[in-house]
Structure 1
Amino acid sequence: MSREMHLTALVYSTGLHPDSWRLPNSHINEIGSIDFQIKMAQLAERGKLDAFFLGDGQYISEEATGQISYYFEPLTALAAVSRETKYIGLVATISSSFYEPYLAARMLSSLNQMAQGRIGANIVTSQFDVEAQNFSMDKLPSLEERYNRADEFITVMKKLWCSFKTSAIVNDKETGIGLDSNQIKAIKHTGTHFQVNGAMNIPTSEYGRPMLFQAGTSIPGREIAARHVEGVFSIAWNMRDAKNFRKDMQLRAKKEERTTPLVLPGLTVYVDETYEKACALKQELDQFVSIENRKKRLSKAIGIDVANWEMDERVPNLQPYEEVQQKVVKSVYSAVKNAVETEELTLRQLLERFSTWVGHKTIVGTPEMVADQMIQWFEEGACDGFTLMPPTYPDLFEKFIDLVIPVLQARGVFRKDYQHATLKGHLGCCEREVKVKSR
Structure 2
Amino acid sequence: MENNPRFHLFAFEPDLLREVSRKVEARFKNVEQSLVLSRRAVLLPKLLEKIRGLSFTEIVPFAQSLKKMEVLLLLYDYPFTSETDETRSKINVILTTRYSGTVGQRAWGLFQQDLTDRFLQDLIRDCYYQDRVGFMGIEETFLRLFEPAMEEKQGIVHGLVSSLQKASFSTREVLKKWKVKEESLLEEELIKRLFAASLSDDRIIKKDGVPYIVERLEYLSLQDYKHVLKFYLEAREHLQFHFLIMEQAIRRLLDPRERETEWDFLSERALKQVHRWLIGNELKKFFETDENNERIEYWKRFINYMNHVESLKDPSVVFIYFEGFVVVEFRKIGAAYFYHEAGFQQFIHSKIHLANFKHSKNTAKKESMLKDTNSMRHGIKLFINKLDHRGDWQRKFDIQMRQYLKE
TM-score normalised by the shorter chain: which range applies?
A: under 0.3
Instruction: Say which structure is richer in strand.
Output: 1
Larger Rg: 2
TM-score normalised over the length of structure 1: 0.21
Say which structure, 1 or 2, has more relative contact order (CA 8 Å, 6+ apart). 1
